[in-house]
Structure 1
Amino acid sequence: MNTHAQGTPPRLLLVEDDATSQGFFRAALEALPATVDIAGSVAQALQMGAATRHDLWLIDANLPDGSGQELLQRLRALHPGVPALAHTADNGAGMQQSLHEAGFERLLVKPMRRAELLDAVRASLGPAGASEPPPAEEPATPDWDENAALSALNGQQAHVVALRELFLSELPVARDAVSVALRQHDDGALRRQLHRLQASCGFVGASRLGRAVRQLHQAPESDMARRQFDAAVSALLH
């Protein structure tokens, strides 16, 4: 049950370990308006949850030190009744069922539109989150250009520029981590890296790389998929 007081901005806990995704969520949620606390791990989220009762939790299903399902149960032990939304780039039926059974009200698949995120948050907050109608969204485009990122961020050019700069600064590290996972045949590490990249690509409009990430996830042993991934990364970095 939501107990947020009318007339004051809700306080939200965002649990997300990817910096680009954090930037998207923060920019969208603070426009509600809302106060957004950000944790990058289960441990940080529990520390923040113990210190503050939030009006809504937004939890990544896959975190460096545990799962979103596990975190939700531990947070609920501290504060029963707080609504929770899950977000993930994995839209498989098994993941959806697991998250719903864990107690999440709704699953948001990354990358999502700003309007979709705000609609879900407002619905979970109830009347306290319904002060502003959801903004109109431009149609998504399949190309690497400004339109996809502007659509995701409701036309906020400054946010697009900032998120793209952050994304590009972290892309070499992500590329190297994918390469190491492929060489070592570490399927778990590869899935984690590609999961994070897929969400980030959507938020900044890196559609070509996003497609390459999906293809590599489906066929990690394919030389063609690896070459397409490398080419897509190189195109963005050069």
Structure 2
Amino acid sequence: MTRPRVLLVEDDPISRSFLTAALAAVPAEVDAADCLAAAVALASTQDYALWMIDARLPDGSGSELLARLREQCPDTPALAHTAAHEAAILDALLAAGFGDVLVKPMPAATVQSAVRRMLGLGGDASRVSAVADMPLPLWDYEAAARALNGNRAHVDTLRSLFALELPKSLQAIAEAGARGDGERMRAELHRMHASCGFVGALRLGSTVQALHREPASPALRDAFELAARETLASL
């Protein structure tokens, strides 16, 4: 049986790695792009059974990309994914034409169920909320493993990638905060929240979520910086 081919559009390397592994287990062939322009280029040379698109991209929005892809392939199903959990944002993505919206971080089983349903392979998809009210432990390795169907090798791979990406993200957040660029700071925190969920970085993920809501709060910044230092020291 020929595997369906999926175009995955995700700029965060940790999220992209997680979603690629989840899609491969559907099973599906996956072509990954990290921006709107790269996705358009791939779609111009390849037909896809499904588009899976991040809501926020470095060079545009997921809704903008969907509109451009629809100009050539009006009937291809599309699935959005986002680290946002506000109902207004999710509803706007559905209104833009996405068949469903998944909220990161989510288990691999949720991704696979949604993809199978949209491809007509069976399975039900349901929205899942972002991790909230996280406990205080620094890591939850078991939760990360469960999200990847118990594949601990994938968890280790993601955590190694997280260790490489985290200092870059922290620097970008610090620079945005120093400039008073709240929009850029929120964008970086948005990406980090999903990454924390996929690797089980509970304490850091909790402070990221709180700071995203109130980026000007000195107390929340202090809590975030402490959690980041502790997380880095444990990697």
Do Structure 1 and Structure 2 share a fold, with TM-score over 0.5? yes
Q: Does 1:52 align with 2:42?
A: no
Any conservation in 2 of the 1:30–1:36 contact (CA below 8 Å)? yes
Q: Deviations over 1:94-123 (max 9, x none)?
A: 211211111001010000111111110000
Q: Structure 2 regions of 5+ residues with no counterpart?
A: 126-130
Aligned partner of 1:165 in structure 2 is 160
- Name the SS of the counterpart of 1:17 in structure 2: coil
* AA matched with 2:103: V
Aligned partner of 2:58 in structure 1 is 64
Aligned partner of 2:78 in structure 1 is 84
Q: Does 1:121 align with 2:123?
A: no
- Name the SS of the counterpart of 1:103 in structure 2: coil
- Name the SS of the counterpart of 1:108 in structure 2: strand
Aligned partner of 1:24 in structure 2 is 18
- Name the SS of the counterpart of 2:120 in structure 1: helix
Aligned partner of 1:177 in structure 2 is 172
% identical aligned pairs:
49
In 1: Cα distance, 2:217 partner to 2:172 partner: 18
The aligned runs of 1:102-117 (5 Å cut-off) are 102-117=96-111
- Name the SS of the counterpart of 2:51 in structure 1: strand
* AA matched with 2:215: P
2:140 to 119, 137, 145: 145
Any conservation in 2 of the 1:168–1:236 contact (CA below 8 Å)? no
* AA matched with 1:60: D
Q: TM-score, normalised by structure 2?
A: 0.92
Aligned partner of 2:209 in structure 1 is 214
* AA matched with 2:23: L
Identify the range of structure 1 (63-72 vs 147-156) with the bigger mean alpha-carbon deviation: 147-156
Q: CA RMSD in A?
A: 1.7
- Name the SS of the counterpart of 1:57 in structure 2: strand
* AA matched with 2:208: V
* AA matched with 2:222: R
Q: Deviations over 1:131-155 (max 9, x none)?
A: x999xxxxx9844131121011111
In 2: Cα distance, 1:112 partner to 1:33 partner: 18
1:73 to 62, 67, 77: 67
* AA matched with 1:194: L
- Name the SS of the counterpart of 2:81 in structure 1: strand
Q: TM-score, normalised by structure 1?
A: 0.90
**1:221 positional shift:** 1.6
Q: Structure 1 regions of 5+ residues with no counterpart?
A: 1-6, 135-139
